[in-house]
Structure 1
Amino acid sequence: MLTGPGDTPDFLIVQEKIDTEHELISTLNYALGLVEEQGLSVYDYFDIHDLEEDTQAIFQQSQLRRP
């Protein structure tokens, strides 16, 4: 929670409704399981360019404000 004018968030959460019964969700869960088994993090594969442009701008602005 941000409590003052100088506070900045440490992360950005983008939420969308998804169909949890969709076949691709099973594929995604399987892929994430393989990544975790290898001792890696999903953040090793994070690419800001995969985000929508407005989300990229918000993320980049929050990074500029960090000390």
Structure 2
Amino acid sequence: MAKQNIFKKFISFITSSYRELKKIDWNIVTKSVPAHLIGILIIMAFFSLFFLIVDLGIGKFIQWIFGL
């Protein structure tokens, strides 16, 4: 039950973040910040999420092997 609540909060956080991102006037942002910096930030966010998922997967695999 607690996992479902955490999952629901996570989903609502993602949807609210998406709504806030849609409100931003991206023309102003891209004029004030160099494009390569935005690209670097996107790549960093992607890799951090990727490694978080891989790390969670490895943790679950180790728990499954050792029966924890």
Please tell me whether Structure 1 or Structure 2 has the larger radius of gyration of its CA atoms: 2
Give the TM-score taking structure 2 as reference length.
0.31
Give the TM-score taking structure 1 as reference length.
0.31
Normalized per residue, the structure richer in helix is: 2
